[in-house]
Amino acid sequence: MRFRFTSTAIDTAQARRQLLDQGAGGYVSFEGWVRDFNEGQEVTRLEYEAFQELAVKEGERIVAEALQRFPVRQALCIHRIGNLDLSDMAVWVGVSAVHRGEAFDACRHIIDEVKHRVPIWKKEHYRSGDSGWVNCERCAAAPHHDSASHSMHK
Amino acid sequence: MRFRFTSTAIDTAQARRQLLDQGAGGYVSFEGWVRDFNEGQEVTRLEYEAFQELAVKEGERIVAEALQRFPVRQALCIHRIGNLDLSDMAVWVGVSAVHRGEAFDACRHIIDEVKHRVPIWKKEHYRSGDSGWVNCERCAAAPHHDSASHSMHK
Amino acid sequence: MQLKVQYYALMREQAGRSEEMLETAAATPADLYVELTSRYRFTLTREQLKVAVNSEFSDWSRRLAAGDAVVFIPPVAGG
Amino acid sequence: MQLKVQYYALMREQAGRSEEMLETAAATPADLYVELTSRYRFTLTREQLKVAVNSEFSDWSRRLAAGDAVVFIPPVAGG
């Protein structure tokens, strides 16, 4: 299993141990952290939600593709769901490889693809009291301003 | 101090804490591991040696350059010296940034520059019983085959 | 024909539920989205969505069968 | 003129010491390397080395002064 979800803090030390390989000379990891500012708004916390059944399949496909495309040894991605505070880790990707260049390339490829393809959504809560689903609210704002459920969204 | 040496295991958890930043959304780290095979030889262990006075200055310059060149928040590099076994961590680089792309770029830049510019040397010990200073033996082998001190080098 | 529909994120909030069993005449996910949008006033247009049937990505023109589980997938934002 | 010379890695092994105080007439690091190579039979050519004086990288043609600390730097291999 090379892609999984957790509803508690990601255990990076344990995850890293899965990637240890005596033939690997380089190891690259990425962590996505909850940032205090996004697109002009002060963020206070986040909620992550996933369509887990499909997300795990798509995540596994992404990591498997990376293992095929780049000459790397091991790769793994873990995504957090639920409520996160500032500086919490939302996602972790780790890759070990014989040479460091491929580890960097594969790690970056995996996180880029995960962000584009895996059905995960985040709702940002702002200092202003507003909140919004990232990538959903802005593009959706124009067509319908009449819906009552919109009152708390930007 | 953004570049330092240690003669004991690199404490990555402590190092990572130095890079925490509520404005950072991405964190990339690189670890160089002792690999069991290099250029056709089975490696059993390594020795790292540094000209520390100059190495620390040059390492600091590299990290400072990366902080200027890439829009990242924090960066740090720690290099191990002394005797290392297979899978031991020889070097660690960590970078936090607002956006992940810059964190990847800066982390890769730092490790590439460290490997090229910082006066650190490693001696590989091979299963065959031979040993050799990486990047020194091969290029040096041709001119003098008469030196007695060569018997254990490739 | 009865289908299972699950809602996530913004669409879950707009539908006011996370899943439901639905009796519908919709032949395709595209038809089903038109029907559900008139009921729940979803603000996302079909062009902004993907659709999954039985936990795999699907075409909008796929023929739905009784018992299928349909999920409309808003723009994702992992990481 | 007395200089301090430090040796690292392969050169430390070939010189059989990690540092020494040296009485020399060498005017530059380039001259000094010729002198030391004839003594220790260093296998690295000057083109393969860098040189540092007083813990900063230096030109090979720098004028050495009494008390300077000189280090010849073999090809590096960190990480």
Q: How many CB pairs under 8 A join A and C?
A: 96
Residue A28 lies in a domain: yes
Contact between chain D and chain C (3 or more Cβ pairs less than 8 Å apart): no
B1-53 residue pLDDT tens: 999 999 999 999 999 999 999 999 999 999 999 999 988 899 999 999 999 99
Residue D57 lies in a domain: yes
Place of tokens 């959903």: A136
Residue B153 lies in a domain: no
Cβ distance of A29 and B32 shorter than 8 Å: no
CATH number at residue C19: 3.10.20.30
Residue B21 lies in a domain: yes
In sequence order, what are the beta bridge partners of B30? A28, B93
Q: Which positions in chain B touch A27 (Cβ < 8 Å)?
A: 30-33
Q: Which positions in chain A touch C78 (Cβ < 8 Å)?
A: 48, 50, 79, 90-91, 114-115, 118, 120-122
- Distance between A24 CA and the closest CA of chain C, angstroms: 26
pLDDT at B147: 37
Residue D78 lies in a domain: no
- Distance between B114 CA and the closest CA of chain D, angstroms: 7
Residue B87 lies in a domain: yes
Instruction: List the single residue in C43, C52, C79 with the smallest CB-CB distance to A115.
Output: C79
Residue C79 lies in a domain: no
Where are the extended beta strands (E) located within chain B? Answer: 3-6, 26-33, 37-38, 41-50, 72-80, 82-85, 89-97, 120-126, 131-133
d(CA B50, CA B45): 17
Q: Which domain holds residue C49?
A: 2-73
Arithmetic mean of pLDDT over chain C:
97
SS3 A17: helix
From chain A, which residues contact B within 8 Å (Cβ)? 13, 20-37, 86-87, 96, 98, 100-101, 103-104, 107-108, 111
Closest residue in chain A to residue B85, using alpha carbons only: A22
Q: Say if residue B112 is exposed, middle or buried (CB neighbours under 10 Å; 0-12, 13-18, 19+).
A: middle
Q: Which positions in chain C touch A143 (Cβ < 8 Å)?
A: 43, 45
Cβ distance of C44 and A149 shorter than 8 Å: no
A101-126 burial, b at 16+ Cβ within 10 Å, e below that, comes to ebbbbbbbbbbbbbbebbbbbbbbbb
- If one counts the domains in chain D, the total is 1
CATH number at residue B86: 3.90.1170.40
Cβ distance of C74 and A121 shorter than 8 Å: yes
Residue C78 lies in a domain: no
pLDDT-wise least confident of A51-55, B147-151, D16-20 = B147-151
d(CA A107, CA A110): 5
Residue B128 lies in a domain: yes
In this structure, are residues A152 and A131 in contact, taking their beta carbons and an 8 Å threshold?
Answer: yes
In this prediction, residues C21-33 reach a mean pLDDT of 98
CB hemisphere CA count around A134 (13 angstroms): 26
Helix (H) or strand (E) holding D77: none
Cβ distance of D14 and B115 shorter than 8 Å: no
In sequence order, what are the beta bridge partners of B82? B48
| Chain D touching partners, 3 or more CB pairs below 8 A | B
In this structure, are residues D75 and B51 in contact, taking their beta carbons and an 8 Å threshold?
Answer: no
- If one counts the domains in chain A, the total is 1
Residue A148 lies in a domain: no
pLDDT at A92 over 70: yes
Q: Which positions in chain B touch D14 (Cβ < 8 Å)?
A: 147, 149
Q: Which domain holds residue A79?
A: 3-142
Residue C9 lies in a domain: yes
pLDDT at A148: 36
Q: How confident is the model at residue C79 (pLDDT cuts 50, 70, 90)?
A: confident
Residue B147 lies in a domain: no
A14-66 residue pLDDT tens: 999 999 999 999 999 999 999 999 888 999 999 999 999 999 999 999 999 99
| CB-based contacts of A125, cutoff 8 Å, min separation 6 | A43, A44, A45, A46, A47, A131
Residue B149 lies in a domain: no
